[in-house]
């Protein structure tokens, strides 16, 4: 009963706007915290090729 009341109070626009805000904030944190100067240690391309072969 509680979930149906909550879904009626929030419109789809508000939920979509909230998800977009969360996406922008999380992407900002990701770009801020990732160190682009160092190369990745593992070679994932090699793992993918070996798993297919």
Question: What is the residue-level pLDDT of the chain in tens, covering all 53 positions?
Answer: 455 555 556 688 888 999 999 999 999 999 998 887 876 666 777 778 778 86
- What's the pTM? 0.51
- Taking the C-alpha atoms of residue 11 and residue 6, their distance in angstroms, rounded to an integer, is 10
pLDDT confidence of residue 4: 58
Residue spans of the domains in the chain: they are: 2-52
- Quick one: tokens of 21? 């805000």
pLDDT confidence of residue 40: 65
């Amino acid at each position: 009963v509680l979930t149906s009341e909550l879904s009626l109070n929030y419109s789809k626009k508000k939920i979509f706007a909230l998800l977009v805000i969360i996406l922008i904030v999380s992407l900002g944190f990701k770009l801020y915290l990732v160190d682009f100067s160092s190369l990745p240690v593992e070679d994932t391309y090699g793992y993918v090729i070996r798993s297919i072969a």
